[in-house]
Amino acid sequence: MKLQIKQHSDDYQAARSNPQSQLIDPFIKQGFCIQPKAVAEEKIDFFLDQLHAELIRDKPRLFSTFWSGPDKKEFLPAKAEYLSLPEAKILDVHYHLPSSHSLIFSPAIMEFLWDIFGEAPVAFQSLYFEYGSAQGAHNDTAFVYVDPPSCFAASWIALEDIKPNTGELFYYPGSHKHEQVFANGGKKFDPFDEHASHYSQILEALLEEAGMAKKTFLPHKADTLFWASDLVHGGSPHTNNLSRRSLVTHYHPRSAVTPYAREKKIRPQPTETGGWVISAT
């Protein structure tokens, strides 16, 4: 596998003629922006109570993924004991737990998403983390697909104060303006490529050669970071036993579509917040 980085134009422009959010300019220029206290803390507490109640249900609605060995990734009904395993995450709480809607579609988040999309946002994937993932550097367009290509953005909501050495989020400001291309000319990650296991290391080396500096995110509870689809990010090493509760959500505009929605002929569902939700699980 070979990667190259080439300059390309901005993926996002302010869709409204008069955007309300002051976050638009840094988002376009740097590929990320931060909104302090983007959600209500009491809504976070209620969501976490509901989530952990789900983990002890006889018939859980939620599923999780994690690594149970070096080459064995599991996909199983979510249980509390799985949450500390490598890269453990609970999938699509945005679809199965309505209490998440007041977080991912809070007024501040909705305002920002309307400004970048110019239309109602659809949450099409979400990932809940109890602990830091320590996931290697990547950008979402290598793994997440939307039509039109790259027509999505993400939010990362801190569900508690994040402490150092808990696998905190890292990112490379400005990396969204450099396109990652594999040896076959495409952007889609190929897990069967003989060099696939070095993907993150190659990507970080290229970014450093291009003069990109890594930053880490140590937010307070309810702070939210938005990133563009091509921003390179990942999880720092987790060197203590503290949690790093967070919720990541991917959104696309109402006019876009994911391959799974087209193939399965499923449609987004409206929520009471004005946002829409859809899921492959």
SS3 270: strand
pLDDT along the chain (281 residues), means of 10: 64 67 89 96 98 88 91 92 93 97 97 94 98 92 91 97 96 90 78 81 91 96 97 94 97 96 95 96 83
How many Cβ atoms sit within 10 Å of the Cβ of residue 176?
27
Reference 114, options 19, 222, 219, 244; nearest CA is 19
Domain contains 5: no
Task: Compute how many other C-beta atoms are within 10 angstroms of the C-beta atom of residue 91.
Answer: 20
Looking up tokens 């990112």 gives 171
Within a domain: 237 = yes
What pLDDT, on the 0 to 100 scale, is given for residue 9? 57
User: 16 in a domain, yes or no?
Assistant: no
Q: What pTM does this model have?
A: 0.93
Residue 10 lies in a domain: no
Identify the pLDDT of residue 185: 74
Please identify which residue in the block is written with the tokens 């998440």. Answer: 100
- Tell me if 262 is assigned to some domain: yes
User: Is 199 part of a structural domain of the chain?
Assistant: no
What three-state secondary structure class fits 154?
strand
3 state SS of 74? strand
Q: Please report whether residue 37 resides in a domain.
A: yes
Number of domains within the chain: 1
Domain extent for 41? 30-68+75-177+214-277
Q: What is the pLDDT of residue 16?
A: 67
Contact 183, 10 (CB under 8 A): no
Nearest to 155 by CA among 252, 75, 73: 252
Q: Is residue 227 part of a domain?
A: yes
| CATH code at position 143 | 2.60.120.620
